[in-house]
Structure 1
Amino acid sequence: MATDVVELILADHRRFEELFRELRDRTADRTALLGDLAELLVAHAEAEESKVYPALKRYKQVDDHEVDHGAEEHAEGHQALLALMEVSDTESEEWEDKLEELVEALNHHVDEEERTILNDAREQVAEERRAELGKDFVEERQERIADGCGDIEYVRRLAKATADRID
């Protein structure tokens, strides 16, 4: 199992893409898949913001603006996730539209984060430190999952808190 924080984050990104492909399948159990996505997405974002982003901001060659922007994009993702979770009919056009809005927001974030923050981290942060951050990231992510972070009420509170933060 990888311990490098960059590799762990990239693995989660690839899992998001898999879940999006599965969620687009009208024959799939979309409710269960959305629960899996919500859990991983929220835990991932919160672990990045609490353990990874603050540590990366200490490195001069890692762009602080990009790190802050990544947190703003997490907030946008939480809003889009909540909008999708609040649509009860997974067969509806509204659900399809909200899914695509979430996919678009997340793909934009993933692309930017991989090109900026993660590339900088790979080049500027020592391998040992990336391994330490990876351990912290996984522990925090698992803690958030254990706390039920994919539950709609949790996502509502998070979306409200992050909306207040970016207003």
Structure 2
Amino acid sequence: MTDYEIPRPTSGDVVELILEDHRLFEALLRDLRDATADREAARAALSAVLIAHGEAEESKVYPNLQRKDAITDHEAEHGEEEHAEGNEALLALLECKGTDTQKFDDAVEDLATALNHHIGEEEQTILNPARTEVSQEVREDLGAKWTAERNRLLDEGAGSLTNVREIVAKAHKDGLLPADDEDE
């Protein structure tokens, strides 16, 4: 992972921190599409930061925004469903043997579609209310909690194939993803 240094902030406005990760996801997706890039390193970096980011949002950010009435239970649950869909697309990408196949390219596009949809929706329906309904002090507190959890998950190798498989299996079990036997 020499080519991709994942930023590890420890504080800041949670909205800005999440937006910085969203821009990082977009840059990594561009590299995954680029045949001259180190696609293996980009895939590993995206897996690590995507999983750490989403898991930290679900445990530290969404519940706090719900308690502050900035977002509804439905918005938080929808965000979790979209994380699950993105994680499932990430798993398909991680399971590709090589990075120079049509299967890999298709998996990159499936992940990009899921991720771009989620980023757009989250920025409008979760981050905008966080900007307007939650004080700067609370956003800073959430930023510290979110970055601490995100960094802990990065340290633990959250983006490993084994961990992503477990997260996707749990999402199926919890009903966040439909049972799709035909994909097995």
- The TM-score normalised by the length of structure 1 is 0.97
Give, in whole Å, the separation in 2 of the partners of 1:62 and 1:45: 17
Contact 1:62–1:124, Cα closer than 8 Å, also in 2: no
1:41 matched to 2:50: yes
Higher RCO structure, 1 or 2 (CA under 8 Å, sep 6+): 1
Q: What's the CA shift for 1:61?
A: 4.0
Q: 1:6 corresponds to which letter in structure 2?
A: V
1:63 matched to 2:63: no
**Equivalences for 1:21-100 in 2 at 5 Å?**
21-100=30-109
Q: 2:140 corresponds to which letter in structure 1?
A: A
Q: Specify every segment of 5 or more residues in structure 2 that has no aligned partner in the other structure, as ranges.
A: 1-8, 179-184
Counting helix residues as a fraction of each chain, which structure ranks higher? 1
Q: What's the CA shift for 1:64?
A: 2.5
Identical amino acids, percent of aligned pairs: 50
* Number of residue pairs aligned between Structure 1 and Structure 2: 167
Which of 126, 131, 142 matches 1:122?
131
Q: What's the CA shift for 1:63?
A: 2.7
Give, in whole Å, the separation in 2 of the partners of 1:89 and 1:15: 23
- After superposition, the C-alpha distances for 1:65-84 in whole angstroms (9 at most, x for unaligned) are 11110011001111000001
1:159 matched to 2:154: no
Give, in whole Å, the separation in 1 of the partners of 2:168 and 2:69: 31
Give, in whole Å, the separation in 2 of the partners of 1:61 and 1:76: 24
Give, in whole Å, the separation in 1 of the partners of 2:142 and 2:70: 17
Which of 3, 24, 31 matches 2:12?
3
Q: Specify every segment of 5 or more residues in structure 1 that has no aligned partner in the other structure, as ranges.
A: none
- After superposition, the C-alpha distances for 1:63-117 in whole angstroms (9 at most, x for unaligned) are 3211110011001111000001101121100110011000000000000000110
Give, in whole Å, the separation in 1 of the partners of 2:160 and 2:98: 17
- The TM-score normalised by the length of structure 2 is 0.88
Which of 92, 103, 110 matches 1:101?
110
**Equivalences for 1:121-140 in 2 at 5 Å?**
121-140=130-149
CA RMSD of aligned residues (A): 1.1
Give, in whole Å, the separation in 1 of the partners of 2:68 and 2:143: 16
Contact 2:43–2:94, Cα closer than 8 Å, also in 1: yes
